Amino acid sequence: MAAVVEVGVVEEGVVEVAVVETDDLIEIPLVGIGFRGPIADWVFSNPAEIDCVEITAEHFFESSEEQLAKLSHLYPVSVHGLGLSLGTPGSLDSQVLSQFQRVADSVDAKWISEHIAFTRTGDVDLGHLNPLPMTRKCLSTLVDHASELMDRCQRPLLLENITSYLRIPGDYSEPEFLNRLCEQAGTGLLLDVTNLFINSRNHDFDPIEWLHEVDSQHIRQIHIVGYSFHEGVWHDRHREPIQDDLFDLVRDVVAYAPVEAIILERDGAFPPVNQLAAELTRLEETCESAR
């Protein structure tokens, strides 16, 4: 099916094209990539496969705003946080919050995002993401911190599910916890499809059942990268190409929820850029087939 398109010649050499009926047009998510140093030149060359870019806020805390301005001139940009530790009780680190806001403002971020996790406590900074007990107390902490972050940045906030080898008993199942969090904080969900897949394998549950327990309207963005499997355990090393079963899961998520963007989140072992471009193209095709 196609939309009705009117074509007219306005003046010599100028053709005006207007889409006058859009009922049959399908909306597919933007497909983009996480900005990293080794692929910076390719991203700045503005290839057709990249619709949007995600930057990691902490990577730009020390840098000038020139690179950020250049990126935001080329793409819609989302700003992703790693270190706000939204699940830690008490105040958010005001210095980190200010730096995060500066980066978000510099690129006029379309979205901001952080993880449903803790990275530090008063005693120790673990440096990476760790799971939270799905309890009322943790829910309240996350809601407060998410609200504070949104108030500060004045931008839509998406919260992301993490991988965890550790399961901590709590008051809610994970999908129920996510639904309550998104409703109470007024945030969306950044569904990391790879994390969902890995958790489902390591903790033996059905990712599709899990998906359908989450309110579809919350899921606004997807993260994806290949998984790895080593000594009987599934890992998120962010160094592998996307496997077929992950493309299948992306199709299920895009068919189920109003996803607005998909970000390929490669952190290491970067292949030639034509391979990354091919992955982005396949993601776009997957979205088209899902909608």
Query: Is 233 one of the binding residues for other proteins (CB under 8 A)?
Result: yes
Q: Which of 39, 102, 135, 252 forms a contact with other proteins (CB under 8 A)?
A: 135
Burial of 75 (0-12, 13-18, 19+ CB in 10 A): buried
Q: Report in angstroms how near the CB of residue 195 gets to other proteins at its nearest.
A: 13
> Following DSSP, what letter does each residue of 44-68 receive, concatenated?
HT--TT-SEEEEEGGGGSSS-SHHH
φ, ψ at 23 (rounded to 5°): -55, -35
**With CB under 8 A as the contact rule, which of the stretches 57-65, 206-214, 247-255, 282-290 interacts with other proteins?**
57-65
* H/E element, 273: helix 273-290
Q: Which of 12, 23, 24, 66 forms a contact with other proteins (CB under 8 A)?
A: 66
Q: Which of 6, 69, 108, 128 forms a contact with other proteins (CB under 8 A)?
A: 128
Nearest to 4 by CA among 17, 26, 22, 16: 22
Query: Is 235 one of the binding residues for other proteins (CB under 8 A)?
Result: yes
Q: Give the CA count within 13 Å in the CB-facing half-sphere of 106.
A: 22
Nearest to 146 by CA among 213, 85, 95, 99: 85
Tokens of 263: 């970000």
Q: Report in angstroms how near the CB of residue 124 gets to other proteins at its nearest.
A: 5
Rank residues 29 and 170 by Cβ distance to other proteins and give the closer one: 170
Q: By CB under 8 A, what part of segment 256-285 binds other proteins?
A: 268
3-state secondary structure of 277: helix
Instruction: Print the binding letters for residues 70-99 with other proteins: x by CB under 8 A, - otherwise.
Output: -------------x------------x--x
Rank residues 67 and 216 by Cβ distance to other proteins and give the closer one: 67
Rank residues 89 and 258 by Cβ distance to other proteins and give the closer one: 89
Rank residues 85 and 179 by Cβ distance to other proteins and give the closer one: 85
> Following DSSP, what letter does each residue of 83-94 receive, concatenated?
SS-TTSSS---H
Query: Is 168 one of the binding residues for other proteins (CB under 8 A)?
Result: yes
CA–CA gap between residue 217 and residue 202 (Å, rounded)? 27
Q: Which of 78, 101, 106, 130 forms a contact with other proteins (CB under 8 A)?
A: 130
| Residues forming a β-bridge with 8 | 16
Q: Report in angstroms how near the CB of residue 62 gets to other proteins at its nearest.
A: 8
CA–CA gap between residue 81 and residue 132 (Å, rounded)? 17
Rank residues 46 and 217 by Cβ distance to other proteins and give the closer one: 46
Q: Which residues bind other proteins (CB under 8 A)?
A: 58, 61-64, 66-67, 83, 96, 99, 118, 120-121, 123-128, 130-131, 133, 135, 137, 164-170, 233, 235, 237, 268
